[in-house]
Copies of this chain bind each other. A is one copy, B any other.
Amino acid sequence: MSLAIGLVGLGAIAKAQHLPAIAATEGVHLAAIASRNATLPDAPSHHGLTEMLAAHPELDIVSLCTPPQGRFEQGMEVLHAGRHLMLEKPPAMSLSEIETLRETAAQAECTIFATWHSREAAAVEPARAWLLERKATRIAIAWREDVRKWHPGQEWIWQPGGLGVFDPGINALSILTRLLHDPVHLKSATLNIPEGRQTPIAADLTLCAGDTPVTAQFDWRETGDELWRITIETDEGDLAQLDKGGAEFSVNGAQICRGNNHEYARLYARMRDLVAQGQSDLDLAPLRLVADAFMTARFNTVAPFDTEAAQ
């Protein structure tokens, strides 16, 4: 038996990751898509979620790849239609929306899965296992990329609820909260918001996990290569690096693990298993840290930023 998936939102992430991942995962198949603008040659294509649900009573799962600002209403519609729900990160625009989705899914006896794709990166689990046997004394996150390269034309990231540089930064936070045994809490945050915009282009966080201090620097103004790196110092004097967004792990300069990217295939396999087991997976820790950063932030206004112009 194979679970029928309906995909909503056919943007960059759906094309680059979700469609190949669904095709590569046993036990699931793409049955339909819904997109305002795009169609697929080899799957029934609908203009909206409502039409897709009505046309395909056989859909078991709806997977949302739309921007977070509209995801709550779509998620509620999916759950009210009795279908299982899979959510791109962040699972909704706000924590209270997610709590409402959680209660609705429980009432509907549907699976809800808030995915954090970076947790499935090849070296995250080896790094977590390595760290389990040691004590981290200091952790530093550096997450820098060129917003013009990675988010071309995505106006929603600059709108309220779009999270700005936390859209990539939450990937780092999702890895951090998976790596560490102790719960992570925020101590302070500085958010740099370009003049005339609503979301930060850069953020500096100080966090804490047990008595381990953690710093995080997120910056979208990088014009060179992206840097997605978590550096870990231990009480035995080791210096470890989880690099390239979780794909590579090295200790004292020696590579321990480097793997291919199967992040989204692992997410769809997990969704399949959650549905089979009648369970849900809705970990709010990464988005909670982002909400805390906004709530306790020192706000700086920085220079206006032109998303179009090359520098």
Binding site for B on A (CB under 8 A): 72, 93-97, 99-100, 103, 160-161, 163, 183-186, 188-189, 193, 198, 285, 288-292, 294-299
Q: Which residue of B lies closest to A96 (CB)?
A: B185
Q: How far is the CA of A298 from the CA of B161 in the complex (A)?
A: 9
* B93 touching A296, Cβ below 8 Å: yes
A188: B residues at CB distance < 8 A: 160-161
Interface CB pairs A-B, < 8 A, 30 = A72-B185, A93-B296, A94-B292, A94-B295, A94-B296, A95-B95, A95-B288, A95-B291, A96-B184, A96-B186, A96-B289, A97-B292, A99-B185, A99-B288, A100-B183, A103-B183, A160-B189, A160-B296, A160-B298, A161-B188, A161-B295, A161-B296, A198-B297, A198-B298, A198-B299, A291-B292, A291-B295, A294-B295, A294-B297, A295-B295
B290 touches A295 (CB 8 A): yes
A85 to chain B, nearest CB (A): 16
A186 surroundings in chain B (CB, below 8 A)? 94, 96-97
B291 contacts A185, C-beta separation under 8 Å: no
Copies per assembly:
2
Q: How far is the CA of A295 from the CA of B72 in the complex (A)?
A: 15
CA–CA, A299 to B288, complex, Å? 20
Whether the pair A297, B160 counts as a contact (CB closer than 8 A) is: yes
Q: Which residues of B contact A294 (CB under 8 A)?
A: 291, 294-295, 297
Known: A103-B183, A290-B295. 13 other contacts (CB 8 A): A94-B295, A95-B95, A95-B291, A97-B186, A97-B292, A100-B185, A160-B298, A161-B188, A161-B295, A163-B295, A291-B294, A291-B295, A294-B294
Bound complex: CA A248 to CA B198 (Å): 39
Query: What residues of chain B lie closer than 8 Å to A93, measured between beta carbons?
Result: 295-296
Indicate the member of A188, A296, A299 with the most B CB atoms within 10 Å.
A296
Whether the pair A183, B99 counts as a contact (CB closer than 8 A) is: yes
- Cα A189 to Cα B288 in complex, Å, equals 18
Least CB separation from A198: chain B residue: B298
Q: Which residues of B contact A99 (CB under 8 A)?
A: 183, 185, 285, 288
Q: Smallest distance from the beta carbon of A213 to chain B beta carbons, Å?
A: 14
Closest to A209 in B: B100
Closest to A101 in B: B185
Q: A186–B160 Cα gap in the complex (Å)?
A: 13
Residues of chain B contacted by A160 (CB below 8 angstroms)? 188-189, 296-298
Cβ–Cβ < 8 Å partners of A296 in chain B:
93-94, 160-161
Could you say which residues of chain B place their CB within 8 Å of the CB of A292? 94-97, 291
Name which residue of chain B comes closest to A297, CB basis.
B160
- Contact A288:B185 (CB < 8 A) given known A160-B297, A299-B193, A299-B299: no
Given the complex of chains A and B, what is the CA–CA distance between A290 and B72 in angstroms? 18
Q: What's the Cα separation between A94 and B290 when bound, in Å? A: 10
**Min C-beta distance of A226 to chain B, whole Å:** 24
